[in-house]
Structure 1
Amino acid sequence: MLWVAFIGQIAFFVSTYLYVNQHPWLLLIAGISFNGVIGYMFHQRSKQIKNADRSLEQGLLSLMDSDFSVSIPTDKEDNRGPIFELFNQCADKLRKERQHLYQREMLLDKVLNTSPVVTFLVDINQKIIFANRAAELMFNDGNSILGYSWSEVCTNLNSDFVQALQQSGESIFTLKNSQGEEQAWHLAKSGVRIHQANNTLYLLKSITNELSRQEVQTWKKVIRVISHELNNSIAPISSMCHSGQLLAQNLDEPRLDRVFSSISRRIGHLNEFIKGYGALSKLKIPDKRLVDWTTLFDQIGALYRFDLITDIPNVEVYADEHQIEQVLINILKNAHEAQSETDKVSQVTMAISAVKPHGISIEISDTGLGMAPEVLENALLPFYSTKHAGTGLGLALCREIIEAHQGKLSFYNRKSGGLTVSIFLPSAL
């Protein structure tokens, strides 16, 4: 740009020179004008260079301040244009990288805060510098614990819990909750280096439900194997028994007929036994729909009497109504049978209430003798029963149904006597 102007000025000077040959006094004016124009051009060029330098300096300072939205205008005729273009490309790339990183951080934060795994990070000064939602719920009733001293948090914990958390590496331990139930936990503790600082990462996960599911799956496999073997034996025995009954009728031998009739009845009972356990091992996936609790309680009350001592909360619960009905009937049947073992006036009550954040709790209580500690511990296991004619199927099937609804079934003895069966059902689909 400058050299074009310079050539133009030379041409102007030559033409002026030719003209001033006839007018010499114009030569002085032309020289002064030429020097003024050249001086002005150099001044403008110097100003452009300073502005470009200032723009580049401001752009670099913006990048240092993590402001990647800055860009520098480019001029193709400026020899610094390629440098400015490269600067703009770098800023654009950094801007895209930051957006990508921000999205990843948002996703990671969402995953960590919705995860049931208790996750928190403690720095070298034993200060909590990160805690997800599960950690806040466990240690501070849902309130933030950022900046808290780890020793402060531990003062509100069970001593056995604190001792378990002090172990290094991975470990599994059990604790009792407020209702006296054993809860199994898996702890993973490791060192993490962040920004050149050493920190300790804690990952705490409840594995009680997983162990329970594994236990149920094991029982199902055992039941399927036993059912298969029993069916293979019952079929030919039943056929031979039927043939024996026909022979006994032809021989007119009443005693032999009674023997085969007795065997046939026991085979029928064994078939029903196998079918019952087949229901546990082949439970259908719940067909969840909005539950009409009023209608459901009326239907159940026609079979087993109970007193509903609370109002039905205005909480929409989606569940398989037939399966929930089966659970409630089984529990009410057990409650009435417990009443018959005492001399007290029969009283079975049911309470239903909303549970935060989203769900309901149903509690069925009786005034019977309650359960011995050993029975409480094993009541939900298949094949376990304290009844003479019991199969140990009912409560195991109830637990399987409730857990298929992502709920929880538990028992506890009442201080005033009797047993309470507690059912939690989430309201979400």
Structure 2
Amino acid sequence: MRFAKLFSRLPVRSLRHRLILTSLVVVALPIAIVGMVLEYQGRQALITEKQSKLFALARILDGELGPGFDALLADLPTGWRDREAAIAHLNAKLAHLTDRVAQADSGVGVGYYARRLDAILTYGPSDLYGGTVGRSIDADHPGRRVMATGEPDIEFGSLVRGPVLNAMLPVKREGEVIGYIWANEFTKDVQRQQGVIDQAVIYSSIGGIVVALMLIQFTSRSLSNDVGVIVNGLKAMKRDLHTPIPALRDELGAIVDAINAMAKELLDARSLTENIMASVADGIIAIDVDGNIAAFNPAAEALYAVRAEAVIGQPYHALFVDGTDMVSVLLDTLETGRTHIGVTLTIPRTDPALKITASSSVLRDGDGQRIGAVVVLKDVSERDRLMEQVMQADRLAALGELTAGIAHEIRNPLTSIRGFMQYLSECRTIDDWKEYGPLIIRQVDSLNHIIGELLAFGRPRPPCIGKVLVNRIAEEMAFLARGKSDARIDLDLDADVPEIDADGEALKQALLNLIINALQAIEERPSMDADADAGRSVTIATRRHDADRVMIRVSDTGVGLDPKHLKKVFDPFFSTKAAGTGLGLAMVHRIVNVHNGEITLDSQEGKGTVVTLLLPIERPRTEAPA
């Protein structure tokens, strides 16, 4: 790791030079290591060879000694008693042996040492070292250690004749060390031979590095040229994908083939993308991180009445009408990263103004980094026109159903009033009028109630929007409804539900209608045992549904609805209750729609009903791109 950091700091940026440096390190380091190992092993082999030779000479002298010094002194009358005479006698017997061995290998010195006499007996060649005969070795001489331990030893050191490599062999006779034999060679001779080995290793290493450098130079030049072809080809390909990189050989050739294949696939993908962009009926606009237009398909050209060539690279703001305060979902997505789906907008440049839906999202590269944003614009003017026609037809159909419902609701009281009046027209006493007059009044009041609800449904007042606390409205309506039934009303209110933009009075009316319907559904359920009656309850729950909406849920344990009635529950004058007008849920549905909310009803016959309202937290703004 440290080497890589150090290498990255070198002022070498050329691939060829970096390859040469790297190869030199890779080649020179092993050669140097091998050279050091060879030099070390050569030195060790030389020392081992010297040791073997010197010990071999010492063993020869040991064999030539025969039974030992006692046998050689047998013909000396004084024997061991006269030290000087014994040394001279033994030297005379052994000097020719040590001289012969020393003369056989130039530079080698050999000799005998007698432990009993504590003296050098011979030191060949005698003409050089004969003067040392009779001398005792020093107290710290390694020869004394050899005689004491009885083990052979070899040592570099400055001894009797100077710095030598000295091999010492103990002389043992009848289990007793009687002296030792040495064979040595000057250190300078050993070092000279080691120097020869070192020179051979150094010259071989240098030669290997030079040859490697030449091969590296040739290979790097060839590789650098091939890499240059790839680099130049990539630069040309960046401008024009139709320009392939020239073919190369070996692995680089495979890389070039892969790059050319990827370029062709990219060219095909780009062509496919361009064809798709050109053939899509929806307008597609992409901008980069700076808000400049990067893509503008033909459908977008038709929507904005401009050519792509005139706006590519220009700020997206350039498409907006001058002096108009408008909001763009595309720029909002670029700035905040928030995705917009199906936002209804208007393009006022056309006459009449086009109505579109816009869906925008963030564009990211392969690493997940934001590189811009894209918006898809769908012209829904014709769709809305057709929907308006369909809605008009639905309204006409609903008007027919409404007329039939009104006729049915009014006919029953009128029939009763007509029957009472026919009966009273034939009566002669005031008592009959007193008996049937209140009945006629109640039927007229019923007609008036129907007309009042119909007017409220047909001509709703415009909403009065303000900040509303949903939980407070739920608590108030639950309190008002508790006296209308003995069923339990439970509150499950989330404290995190925020204030919303809504008409508080309209929401109170809608929620109260839902609670009353739930209580009536519970009352219609047959009474059972006490445990079952304890489960007769209405639950009002509030939650934050998502980032933009809150939820109000009213659930009951009432009789539920037949599945075949679920599609008609919000229709005017549809009711499963004998005395119901069918305008309550229709009114709730209208109030929720006015608030741009959603209402769903889920009911299981015999188990209960759940009505869920989803209301926006904030009143939606009117947005329109230029």
Give the TM-score, by structure 2 length.
0.34
Q: Which has the larger radius of gyration?
A: 2
TM-score (norm 1): 0.48
